[in-house]
Amino acid sequence: MKEIKTFEEAKAAVNAFEKYMSSRSRFGACDTEPRGMLCYVMRNALHRNKDIELLFEGDNPWELYSSMRGWKAVSDCLTRKVKELVRQLREAPYKNVCQLVEYYGWNY
C-alpha cells in the first residue's frame, strides 16, 4: 500500500477502510458494533500505542451476522485490512497521526 505522508492521505486511508465496511453492510459491517471495534482498535493502536493482536481473539471480533454465509471471510478481511491500516498509520509522520486521532475522536 501507498505510504502515508499527509493528514489528508491518512484520512483517505481511513475512508477507504470505511468504504470496505460499507461494501459489506449486508454482513452487518456498518452496524454499531463494527464501527465501535474500529474506534477501539484505533484508540488502542494510535492513541495508547498498545498491541492490538489480542483485540481479534474469538470467533467474531467484529460482531458480524454469523448466520450469514461468508461472514467469517468478511471478518478475516476486516481484521487484515485494519491491521494494515494501523501499520501504515504507525509509519506515518507523528503530527499527521495526532491530527487524525483528534479528528476522529480516538483520543479519549
For the chain, the 3-state helix, strand and coil shares in percent, each to the nearest 5, are 65, 0, 35
For residue range 72-86, what is the model confidence (pLDDT) as tens digits?
Answer: 999 999 999 999 999
Average pLDDT on 20-42 reads: 97
Cell of 52: 492490538
% of the chain surpassing 70 pLDDT: 99
Q: Residue 40: CA atoms inside 13 Å, Cβ hemisphere, count?
A: 14
Q: How far apart are CA 15 and CA 8, in angstroms?
A: 10
Mean pLDDT in residue range 45-71: 95
To the question of pTM greater than 0.75 for the whole model, the response is: yes
Domain ranges of the chain: 7-104
Please give the grid coordinates belonging to residue 77: 478481511
